[in-house]
Chains A and B, each alone.
Chain A
Amino acid sequence: MDTLGDLAGGFAAAVQPASLAFALLGVLLGTVVGVLPGIGPISAIAILIPVSFGMEPVHGLILLCGIYYGSMYGGSITATLIKTPGEVASAVTAIEGYEMARRGRAKAALATAAIGSFLAGTLAIIGLTFLSPLLVQLANYFGATEYFLLMATALLLASTMSAGSRAKALISIFIGLAVGLIGLDFQTGLPRQTFGIGLLSDGIDFTIFAMALFAIPEAIRNLALGRGAKEEIQSFGSDRWMTKEDWQRSAGPWARGSVLGFIIGVLPGVGPSLASFMSYIMEKRISRRKHEFGHGAIEGVAGPEAANNAGVGGAMIPLFSLGIPGSATTALLLFVFTMYGLQPGPLIFRDDSALIWTIIASMYIGNVALIILNLPLVGVFVKLLKMPKEILFSAILVLVVIGAYAIEFSLFGLLLLGIFGVIGYLMEKGGIPLAPSILALVLVPLLEDNFRRMLQISGGSIAPLFTRPVSLAIIILMLAGIVGPFLFRWWVRRRKLLADVSVG
């Protein structure tokens, strides 16, 4: 068991009182930073890069990993409490988490998120420890064709995410696609759909879009309601910790989310965000309580949060072994690792053994610190909701503005925020769900790039869709997923009919 020995070595380097202190500090900083909209892990890591280089490499790595985990969790706190997702992955949490908070179940939502994150995060690191070489092979079966299919499937499934009309969910997806295509075309560098506005050529930033769509309409609506309106968020006297039922209902989603998240996380480029969306869709599909989704189903928080954190672990595999960062944050982490002398690539486990095991060990520690710190804090965060409405929601508006400013540094960025806020409000008013368009915005570059690559490679033929084994398997699964339920329903109805007839 070489792996175990190496891991033990990593832990020996990582487990000291000072290390643990840095882990806690990192997680705390990360949580604070994650709570602030628009200011994500990447900012915190960038701030601390100079500091961390003054420290022992082990301590620096532990601190940064702690920040990463902390901020991932911090993002779900704001998503749950004030419907302000700071990153793609927590956009899903904003759906059920916020609904739970409105029903006075914020504590349970935050707790299931924290525990799910911890479990999934730990499982994923174990997976990273032992399955890396195996999973890196997976990338070899995923070419442009498979990627395209995967993205298309995800978008199709996204139309089932929200309750209500399919047509409206599709409209939401198309709005996301439309916004996502604005900017320079990746393949040719030509400007598209910029309406002649040069500033649009860099595209619409995801964070601005998500903040605008979720947070602004909610805040504006509450402020416009004024007093005398029915209390939005229910009394907190009854806010209970996770009940036994909650535990039972969370366990399955945690486990499924972890596995799903880890596997999807391995695919470079999409990783955690797709994982959390897919987990939500899956939980909704298999749940016996479908009707609760959209009204605060705890599964809709537990699954995606677990998937998200497992996805982070999964994303480390291509990061380490191919040097492909799955997100801006991992790109920055990669930069830090290389500054410590790590050379990402297939030989990393051979050449940089000591360092990489230290990093992995510090991830375990960061994860543990996350749960130690955050479970007690859940109660504190929930108190935020007790603030008078006008204070809470006006503060949210200010924080989103800072977030948008910190991304674009321009009036144009701020105006975009406002305009998408109006669009979000109108979408809600028209009954168009918001979450599918956010997923679409994230996925459209991957969808388009890979579709174009596929045709470029095959010389214009779509044959690869059916001739490549993995791709064919996805298609068959997709068809089964779409046609299956219809057949099943038809069969059930028929049987019922027959039964009725025979009774009659």
Chain B
Amino acid sequence: MTATRRDLVTGVVVAVIGVIYYLATFSIQETSDIVTPRTFPAIVGAGLIILGLFLAGQALWQGRRTAAGTTRADATAVDATRADTGPGDTTAADATPADTAPGDKEPEPASGVVLPAPEDPPARRVVLQFALFFVYLAIVIPVGFLLSTAAFLMTVTSLYAPEKWIRNLLYSVLFSVIIYVAFVYGLQVYLPVGILG
């Protein structure tokens, strides 16, 4: 996804969230105060809508400008943009033209080296990791901390390094037990016992 496409999508999503948020403010009971309980949420909802549309509009405008430029130059330029910005746009976004950090103009080598931005993992693996995490969240209370945590850790580490299964198993079991003991007996934070209880 190019930086402009990304901004377009982000802007639209933010605007939609803003609309939902704004609509939700209608269910807040009105009062006779000068500033009612609804005022701030409504402002925030409207703000999200405006900002989202602004971002999307900015992206569209920039996209058109880039497109105009590329048709004149060469169609491959689009791919070039993609290669530049593709992997590098997870954090602090210095990808969009408008975003250009002032530092880019005056490079000055020091400890604050600009690292190559972290790689973007493939979407389906992110979804898989999130799915695993949600399963863990869902079972930790009914199944209990010890079992669910050991299972979660085993799954995650084995997906990552299947051949080290002995280490993974040891880690999963020991970490769960140590943490459980530390929290329950040391900090008296009672973690769910679940089916073991």
Chain A interface residues toward B at CB < 8 A: 33, 36, 39, 43-44, 47, 99-100, 102-103, 105, 108, 162-165, 167-168, 170-171, 174-175, 177-178, 181, 185, 187-188, 190-193, 195-196, 216, 220-221, 223-227, 229-230, 232, 245-246, 289-298, 388-391, 394-395, 397-399, 401-402, 405-406, 410-411, 414-415, 417-418, 421-422, 425-426, 428-433, 444, 448, 451-452, 455-456, 459-460
* Known A174-B47, A294-B92; contact A223-B129, beta-carbon cutoff 8 A: yes
Within 8 Å by CB of A290, from B89, B103, B129, B140, lies: B103
Contact B179–A398 (Cβ < 8 Å): yes
Contact B115–A414 (Cβ < 8 Å): no
In the assembled complex, the Cα of A464 lies from the Cα of B52 at a distance in Å of 33
Q: Name the A residues within 8 Å of B157 (CB-CB).
A: 390-391, 394
Say yes or no: is B60 at the interface (Cβ < 8 Å to chain A): no
Say yes or no: is B189 at the interface (Cβ < 8 Å to chain A): yes
**3 A-B pairs with the lowest CB-CB distances in the bound complex, closest first:** A291-B103, A292-B112, A431-B93
Contact A163–B92 (Cβ < 8 Å): yes
* Known A220-B130, A431-B6; contact A414-B103, beta-carbon cutoff 8 A: no
Contact B112–A289 (Cβ < 8 Å): yes
Q: Name the A residues within 8 Å of B160 (CB-CB).
A: 223, 226-227, 389-390
Show 7 residue pairs from A and B whose CB-CB distance is below 8 angstroms, ordered by the A residue: A164-B99, A178-B48, A230-B118, A397-B133, A398-B175, A411-B138, A418-B133
Contact A394–B25 (Cβ < 8 Å): no
Binary CB contact string for chain B from 149 to 192 against chain A (1 if under 8 A, 0 otherwise):
10011001101110000000001000110010001000111011
A384 to B: closest C-beta gap in Å? 13
Within 8 Å by CB of A177, from B9, B27, B44, B52, lies: B44
Contact A297–B112 (Cβ < 8 Å): yes
In the assembled complex, the Cα of A422 lies from the Cα of B130 at a distance in Å of 8
Contact A167–B58 (Cβ < 8 Å): yes
In the complex, the chain A residue whose C-beta lies closest to that of B98 is A165
In the complex, the chain A residue whose C-beta lies closest to that of B91 is A428
Consensus secondary structure, chain A interface: helix
Contact A178–B21 (Cβ < 8 Å): yes
Contact B189–A43 (Cβ < 8 Å): yes
For chain B residues 81-132, which have a beta carbon within 8 Å of chain A?
89-96, 98-99, 101-104, 106-108, 110-116, 118-119, 121-122, 125-126, 128-130
Q: Name the B residues within 8 Å of A298 (CB-CB).
A: 111-112
Say yes or no: is B76 at the interface (Cβ < 8 Å to chain A): no
A148 to B: closest C-beta gap in Å? 11
In the assembled complex, the Cα of A142 lies from the Cα of B43 at a distance in Å of 25
Q: Name the A residues within 8 Å of B125 (CB-CB).
A: 224-226
Contact B112–A295 (Cβ < 8 Å): yes
Contact A402–B179 (Cβ < 8 Å): yes
Contact A414–B140 (Cβ < 8 Å): yes
* Known A430-B13, A456-B34; contact A168-B119, beta-carbon cutoff 8 A: no
Q: Name the B residues within 8 Å of A429 (CB-CB).
A: 6, 90
Q: Name the B residues within 8 Å of A406 (CB-CB).
A: 189
* Known A291-B106, A431-B6; contact A245-B111, beta-carbon cutoff 8 A: yes
B99 to A: closest C-beta gap in Å? 4
A443 to B: closest C-beta gap in Å? 12
Q: Name the B residues within 8 Å of A414 (CB-CB).
A: 137-138, 140-141
Say yes or no: is B61 at the interface (Cβ < 8 Å to chain A): no
Contact A47–B188 (Cβ < 8 Å): yes
Chain B interface size, as a band, is 35 or more
Contact A291–B112 (Cβ < 8 Å): yes
In the assembled complex, the Cα of A418 lies from the Cα of B129 at a distance in Å of 11
Q: Name the B residues within 8 Å of A290 (CB-CB).
A: 102-103
Q: Name the A residues within 8 Å of B92 (CB-CB).
A: 162-164, 294, 431, 433
Contact A291–B133 (Cβ < 8 Å): no
A34 to B: closest C-beta gap in Å? 12
In the assembled complex, the Cα of A294 lies from the Cα of B90 at a distance in Å of 13
Contact A188–B31 (Cβ < 8 Å): yes
* Known A47-B188, A418-B134; contact A192-B96, beta-carbon cutoff 8 A: no
In the assembled complex, the Cα of A259 lies from the Cα of B35 at a distance in Å of 36
B98 to A: closest C-beta gap in Å? 6
Q: Name the B residues within 8 Å of A43 (CB-CB).
A: 187, 189
Within 8 Å by CB of B10, from A39, A105, A188, A430, lies: A430
20 new A-B contacts, CB < 8 A, other than A100-B111, A220-B130, are: A39-B187, A39-B189, A43-B187, A164-B101, A168-B10, A171-B48, A174-B47, A188-B33, A196-B27, A220-B133, A223-B159, A226-B160, A290-B103, A394-B156, A397-B136, A401-B137, A411-B138, A414-B140, A415-B137, A433-B93
Say yes or no: is B193 at the interface (Cβ < 8 Å to chain A): no
Within 8 Å by CB of A225, from B35, B102, B119, lies: B119
In the complex, the chain B residue whose C-beta lies closest to that of A390 is B160
In the assembled complex, the Cα of A34 lies from the Cα of B69 at a distance in Å of 54
Within 8 Å by CB of B90, from A185, A221, A390, lies: A221
Contact B113–A103 (Cβ < 8 Å): yes
Contact A192–B37 (Cβ < 8 Å): yes
Contact A164–B94 (Cβ < 8 Å): yes
A147 to B: closest C-beta gap in Å? 15
In the assembled complex, the Cα of A44 lies from the Cα of B3 at a distance in Å of 46
Contact A220–B21 (Cβ < 8 Å): no
Within 8 Å by CB of B103, from A178, A292, A415, lies: A292
Contact A185–B37 (Cβ < 8 Å): yes
Contact A229–B119 (Cβ < 8 Å): yes
Contact A163–B29 (Cβ < 8 Å): no
A252 to B: closest C-beta gap in Å? 15
Q: Name the B residues within 8 Å of A170 (CB-CB).
A: 47, 51
Contact A220–B126 (Cβ < 8 Å): yes
Q: Name the A residues within 8 Å of B156 (CB-CB).
A: 223, 390, 394, 397
For chain B residues 13-33, which have a beta carbon within 8 Å of chain A?
13-14, 17-18, 21, 24-25, 27-29, 31, 33
Contact A246–B111 (Cβ < 8 Å): yes
In the assembled complex, the Cα of A390 lies from the Cα of B95 at a distance in Å of 29
By CB atoms of chain A within 10 A, which of B44, B93, B112, B134 has the most?
Answer: B112
